Amino acid sequence: MSILKRRILPILNAQISYKLPRTSSYATMALPPFKVNALPRSLYPSSISYSPQDFRRQDEGSDSDWYSQPRFVQHIDDGAIAMLKSYYGSIIKPNNSVLDICSSWVSHLPDNINPQSMIGIGMNKMELERNGHLTKFFVKDLNTNPNIPEVPNESVDVVICNVSVDYLTQPISIFKETHRVLRDNGSAHMAFSNRCFPTKVIGKWMGMSDEERRRWVGGYFWASGGWKEVEEVILKEGKGGFWGGYEDPLFVVRARKAVD
């Protein structure tokens, strides 16, 4: 199904409340049943490498110009949003410090979760100003400069990235920075679906299946180093169909910062 068709189909309104599987070491609150699969280092080549072509895009023009106009729209449907809010409600505690990379006007946290501090790094000032969960934000193009000196070493408990990991052209550098700012045993969560702006997503992404994309993002953690418990979380499989039958899938690839 084309991107256009997916965007114009009616979206699912959902309210979700389930009990948490007790086996998840990441979880702290109620969460719907979901699939968690390990993405061990043994799944990948002994040396993980990438070519420039992997990160080439149809539109290599300025990202700052492209994102200069605010987009106050949702990039996943209501069912996926509800699931992501439930997931973050299970992961983020009120006393946590959170970093939201590639942030925008929403971070998809539940309304009743207000972290002690939450820093957003994004491309559009107006969008970031609208985000009520952020206590501080910085406007930055991470594809031009993947360093985030604005965030001190080991100052963050949780890093999130919503439906944006597929746009990163220097992901290994950004994952290294994510590792730097996390406290020991802190966790990073890369949430994504199959929607995208096709001219700005990395070229490799467009040719992969959902399973291949999850493994691809898991490879970013292993290639950048210093991580443990790399896992894929299948929050929502999604389904195809016309006349309101389509639902967005939703996945998270996550890892914990290893203790030296």
pLDDT band for position 66 (cuts 50, 70, 90): confident
Residue 129 phi, psi (nearest 5): -65, -30
pLDDT band for position 111 (cuts 50, 70, 90): very high
131: which residues sit within 8 A by CB, 6+ positions away? 103, 104, 105, 106, 107, 120, 137
Bridge partners, residue 189, by sequence? 160, 254
pLDDT of the residue at 144: 97
Chain center to CA of 167: 11
> Could you tell me the two tokens for 98?
């959170």
Interval 74-93: pLDDT, tens: 778 899 999 999 999 999 99
pLDDT band for position 197 (cuts 50, 70, 90): confident
The four Cα atoms 206, 32, 255, 146 give a dihedral, to 10 degrees, of 50
Interval 122-149: pLDDT, tens: 999 999 999 999 999 999 999 999 999 9
Interval 146-191: pLDDT, tens: 999 999 999 999 999 999 999 999 999 999 999 999 999 999 999 9
210 vs 24, residue with greater confidence: 210
| Span 243-258, average pLDDT | 87
Is the pLDDT reported for residue 15 higher than 80?
no
Alpha helices in the chain (DSSP H): 3-8, 63-66, 78-91, 125-130, 171-181, 203-206, 210-224
Domain that holds residue 251: 3-257
Using DSSP's 3-state secondary structure scheme, residue 139 falls into strand
| Span 44-48, average pLDDT | 97
C-beta separation of 208 from 182 below 8 A: no
Is the pLDDT reported for residue 19 higher than 80?
no
Using DSSP's 3-state secondary structure scheme, residue 46 falls into coil
What is the CATH number for 91?
3.40.50.150
Domain count, the chain: 1
The number of beta carbons lying within 10 Å of the beta carbon of residue 80 is 27
Q: Token match 């968690």: residue?
A: 36
